[in-house]
Structures are given as structure tokens and as C-alpha cells.
Amino acid sequence: MNAELQLIDAQTAVQVRGLNVVYETTQGDIPAVQNVNLDIRKGQITGIIGESGSGKSTLVMAMMNAVAKPGRVASGSIEVSGVGDMMKLSTEQQRRARSTELGLVFQAAQNSLNPLRRIGHQVLDLGRSHGVKDLRALLRKAKDLLERLGLDADRVLTAYQHELSGGMRQRVGIMFALVLDAKVVILDEATTALDMLSQASVLQIVRELHEERGLTTILITHDMGVVGDLADRVVVMYAGCIVEEGVTQEVLTSPKHPYTRGLIRAIPRISGDIDKAVPLSGSPPDMNTYKQPGCLFADRCPLAAPECQQSRPPLLEVETGRHVACFRVNDHA
Ligand SMILES: Nc1ncnc2c1ncn2[C@@H]1O[C@H](COP(=O)(O)OP(=O)(O)OP(=O)(O)O)[C@@H](O)[C@H]1O
Ligand SMILES: [Mg+2]
């Protein structure tokens, strides 16, 4: 057994340490993920939330060591249970780990299929590229999953991408993430092309598959309601940093970071009363935000004090299993 595997405890599926990812642009480097430390627990559903541009997709792409240019992982380690540090594996080992250990449904899954190959052929291509011996069994598995997800599997497997609706392609994306029996499944906005009812039913199926297969699931969504319904734990990101992390019900009922509170207040489905929804004030982070030495949320924060402008608050465990990055964490109940 690889000695490095011992670094990660038996309850952890993915352990992220000191992760920094930057995008090199003509305006300068964007630190899209900053000093992220995170343990994804086995068998749980972890929700990742945060405004657009907060680094959610970049974080999960980095977990697969698949950040695309002009992005690069500047530092950090990604220990995957049973695999080792994704940053240190050979290209071939990484390729194998993706799909068989970590299955990702890209944010743009509905556009990531090969337009020139029938879906069934793409299942076979995936199987061949991962050395699957019994391709018939793989097709059967794809068919079962598609039916489970409410699709006419025979039709979908013989179809080209353009013959499917956006919602159908998203379900096909979920099938691809699961068909090689990945243990960790990452869904990046995987149901946004679906109407509310279909979204609810697909998420219900995702939850069933998660339980039946004993999966570890990471769910990125803008929908706090989805997080509340499905996720065991929730990670809140702001400007590339994790600002709060903990058990979903605790975070949603007593958010400790002012940003989490603002997010929750902004969403009527959670606050319960559409008239009481209060949009987050200020504008989302830009290049100048990242350059600030202090808390990146300080310029939008109702509690900001002088110390908040001076240094970056570290993510600390404030209660068992609850992490918050805020100097004013004790200044409110
Ligand atoms: N290819 C790229 N080139 C330059 N900057 C990028 C690129 N991809 C992402 N970024 C920047 O990195 C930051 C994080 O982006 P990311 O896509 O990870 O956010 P996100 O939380 O997934 O947002 P969304 O909710 O809109 O999907 C943003 O500031 C974004 O502008
Ligand atoms: Mg994204």
C-alpha cells in the first residue's frame, strides 16, 4: 500500500490541503482558490455554495487535477482515498482515477458530449479507454441508469447529442459520472437545465443512488433549498476562500459567517417569506478584492471592524465540526 495513503483517515474520501489555484490573465493572476483545506467525508453529501465566481467549479476541477489553462494549481495536495495525491500521480494513474474513483458531471455537461458519436458509442469509448472487459455489461449498466433517471434508454443510447434536450443531456452527464462505479461523484450544477419538477425528481434519484451505492457526493448548486434538502454538510465559498463549513442544518439555521447569513437572507425559499428576502449588498469580488490584505468580504460586511481590513481571518474550528473564517464570529449569536 502506498505510504501516502496513511495521511488520510478512514472516514475521509478526499482531503484537500493548502490548495491554491490561479488563472493567469492579461490583467494579472486571479487567485480563484485560496488556501483551501477541506475534508470530504465518505458516504456523505457535501454541498458547495457561493455566488458566481466564488471558485466552486475551480475547486472541484482541482480535486481531479483537471484545471484547464490559463488556470494552474499553484500549490497544495489532493489526497484521494485509495488513490493517493492526485498532484503526484502519473498522467495515466490520474486518468484512471477520474471516472473509476472520481466521477464528475461538468457544469457544462450538456455541451461536453461528443457531437459526432451516438451516446451508446461514447459509453463504449469510455469503457474501452478504461480497459473495461465486459462492454455489454457496461451498456446494460448505462441503460439501467438512464431508465432510472427517467429517460427512454434505447432512444438515448442511439441518439446524437443534438437530438437530446438540455435536461436530457444533463441526465446523460449524470449517467456518465456513475457508469464506471466512481466512489466519489461530483455534480457541478448538474440539474440547472431541468425545470423545477424534473430537478426535484432527478435529485431524488441522485440521493437514492448515493445511498444504495454508498457514494460520496459533492453537489455544487446555487440553490440553498437543494442544499437544505440533500446535503449532510455544506461548504460556503467567497472569493476563492472557504468562509464557513459544517453540518447543513446547523449552518442553515444558525449561520456564523456574515456572508452565509447574507446568502440565506437573500433566498426566499429558505428565509420562508418572499417579502423578507434581502439581496446581498455590495458587488461581487473583482480583481481589486483579491488584492486586499484583510478579509475579502470586509467591504460588504455589516460587522467589519478595523482588524478585518488588516489580515485575512483563518478558517478555524469554532465548534466541533464547524469551521468559520471570521474575526467577528463571536460578536453575534
Ligand atoms: N478560464 C478562465 N480564465 C480566467 N479566469 C477564470 C477562468 N475560469 C474561471 N476563472 C475565474 O476564476 C474565478 C472562479 O471561477 P469559478 O468558475 O470556479 O467560479 P464558480 O463559483 O464555479 O462560479 P459559477 O457559480 O458561475 O459557476 C472567477 O473569478 C472566474 O472569473
Ligand atoms: Mg461553476
Cα–Cα dist 22/93, whole Å: 24
Cα–Cα dist 125/131, whole Å: 10
Cell digits of residue 217: 457526493
Inside any domain, residue 81: yes
pLDDT for 4 equals 46
Inside any domain, residue 304: yes
Mutate to test the pocket of ligand 1, among 25, 58, 61 (most ligand atoms within 8 A of CB): 58
- pLDDT tens, position by position, 269-313: 654 566 667 778 888 888 888 888 999 999 999 999 999 999 999
The enclosing domain of 25 has a CATH number of: 3.40.50.300
* Total number of domains constituting the chain: 1
| CA of 319 relative to ligand 1 center, distance in Å | 31
| CA of 55 relative to ligand 1 center, distance in Å | 6
Question: The domain containing residue 85 runs over which residues?
Answer: 12-101+182-324
Residues 6+ apart with CB under 8 A from 130: 96, 99, 100, 180
Beta carbons of 222 and 49 less than 8 angstroms apart: yes
pLDDT for 273 equals 60
The model's pTM is 0.92
Inside any domain, residue 122: no
